[in-house]
Amino acid sequence: MQGAAPKVYLSLWNVIALGIGSMVGAGIFALMGQATLMAGKNVYWSFLIGGVAALLSGYTYARLGSRYPGSGGIMDYFNKGFSHKTLAGALTLIYLGTLVITVALVAKSFGAYASRLFLPDESVTVFTTGLFSSIAILLLGALNMGGVKAVGKSEVVLVAFKLLILTILMLASFGSSVPVGADVIPVKGLDGLLGSVGLTFFAFAGYGMMANTAGNLQNPARTLPRAIFLAIGVVMVLYLVLSYVVLTNVSASSLDKHAETAVAQAAFPVLGVWGFVAVSVAALIATASAINATMFSMLDISRGLARNGQLNAMFKQPFWGRGTQGFFYLLLGILVLTNAFNLVAIANLAGACFLISYLAVFVAHWRLRKETHGNALLIIAGFVLMLSILAAFFYQMFFSQPYLIPLIVLFVAGCFILEIVIRKKIGPKGA
């Protein structure tokens, strides 16, 4: 039609940047310290196992995204893979809720790095961390409302800068051997290793959000698989190398004290104060880009659910730019979560819910494998590995934070109850 604006497509590098931005922000800077506390020197194996699970799951996402190239991503896969619409809708709500928790987690990490960078240690408080976190949520929420083009371009710049800083840190670490004395990070037992894989897999979980870009790709069947595998591969190598950097340059006591900012702490012995500053800046950029990418998926999924009648109409009513009124209220909810809970609790909640959601994607792919031409052995292998990771994760939580298990059960049950209520309002036509 004459006068219609041409559709703006994301490039391969835009999508890779969105994936790396989400994974690295949530993984290295937010969770490296916590994973190392649990696994000790076995954290290498933890990231390797998590990466293999991500590659197998990434295969499923690539096949589904190529066959069903829409902006709905996981929502479309559930709707097509499960004939029972209440089940499909509840699983989508679980995933949407997980994205909200994820933004709160990464925003908490952003606030921790910002507080240590801009304030003296004695001035860092829960209030200052929450203030910096809240500013990031509001600014990046506004950016996502600005449009697809703004998000794609911003991710390329953000990812390029933080990878440059991390590369300098890695090269400097390999060129210098700095002993940490007798206070070294120990080798933990098998239970610590297996329990930590739930966190390290969550550090890769951003690849799933890349599937939501399929509706904004000119050739999704070609671009999406390449983007997913390249992003996971780059991030796996990065995690393994930075694990070495942290284990080599951070003492056990320092890790225990500064677990939330472990990567920046590792820069002190190698690059001094200016290295700490540079890595902290990279951490702020990394966590900001993770929030950015996660919000991108959150906005698309909530709008799609509203179009299907699975969420209130306010999630499709315009607010500002491409944002909706419902998205604005989700931002307010994220602000509450970020300021009400600590990082470890949020990380465990998000990790468990991500594993549940991604297990369901394997089941959906199994049911759709003839349409996607998916390899049955890869689907089964991925499902079994991820189920094992989830079981080990719950085992670890039972002994370390048992109160989180009923919270997870309540969250999942609440999503099913909400979906049942919504389906009753829609009536037989929508069910």
pTM: 0.82
**CA pair distance 204, 211, nearest whole angstrom:** 14
Task: Judge whether 322 and 298 are in contact, CB under 8 Å.
Answer: no
Is the pLDDT confidence value at 366 over 70? yes
Q: How does pLDDT run across 371-428, given as a tens digit for each residue?
A: 998 899 999 999 999 999 999 889 888 887 888 899 899 999 998 998 888 777 765 5
CB count in 10 Å sphere of residue 190: 10
Task: Judge whether 264 and 112 are in contact, CB under 8 Å.
Answer: no
In this prediction, residue 60 has a pLDDT band, given cuts at 50, 70 and 90, of: very high
Show Cβ contacts of residue 82 under 8 Å, excluding neighbours closer than 6 positions: 88, 91, 364, 367
Q: State the CATH number of the domain containing residue 279.
A: 1.20.1740.10
Q: How does pLDDT run across 155-210, given as a tens digit for each residue?
A: 667 677 777 777 777 777 665 555 555 577 777 878 888 888 888 888 888 787 78
Quote the crossing angle between the two packed helices 30-39 and 343-367, to the nearest 10°.
Answer: 90
Quote the crossing angle between the two packed helices 148-174 and 12-24, to the nearest 10°.
Answer: 60
**Helix runs in 82-189, H state only:** 85-118, 126-146, 148-174
Q: How does pLDDT run across 73-132, given as a tens digit for each residue?
A: 777 889 899 988 888 888 988 988 888 888 888 888 888 888 888 887 777 777 888 889
CA atoms within 13 A on the CB side of 130: 12
Residue 246, domain member (yes or no): yes
Mean pLDDT of 2-27: 70
**CA pair distance 71, 96, nearest whole angstrom:** 14
Query: How many structural domains does the chain have?
Result: 1
In this prediction, residue 7 has a pLDDT band, given cuts at 50, 70 and 90, of: low
Is the pLDDT confidence value at 36 over 80? yes
DSSP assignment string, 246-269? HHHH--HHHHHHSGGGHHHHHHHH
The predicted structure's pLDDT at residue 321: 67
**Could you tell me the maximum CA-CA distance found in the chain, to the nearest angstrom?**
73
Residue 138 belongs to domain spanning: 12-421
The predicted structure's pLDDT at residue 356: 92
Q: How does pLDDT run across 270-282, given as a tens digit for each residue?
A: 777 887 888 888 8
Residue 1, domain member (yes or no): no
Residue 316, domain member (yes or no): yes
**CA pair distance 39, 187, nearest whole angstrom:** 7
Is the pLDDT confidence value at 218 over 80? no
In this prediction, residue 431 has a pLDDT band, given cuts at 50, 70 and 90, of: very low
CB count in 10 Å sphere of residue 409: 10
The predicted structure's pLDDT at residue 148: 53
Residue 4, domain member (yes or no): no
**CA pair distance 245, 262, nearest whole angstrom:** 10
Residue 389, domain member (yes or no): yes
Residue 78, domain member (yes or no): yes
- Give the burial class of 127: count Cβ atoms within 10 A of its Cβ; 0-12 exposed, 13-18 middle, 19 or more buried: exposed
Residue 426, domain member (yes or no): no
Q: Give phi and psi for 40, each to the nearest 5.
A: 60, -140
Residue 429, domain member (yes or no): no
Mean pLDDT of 58-68: 89
Is the pLDDT confidence value at 430 over 70? no
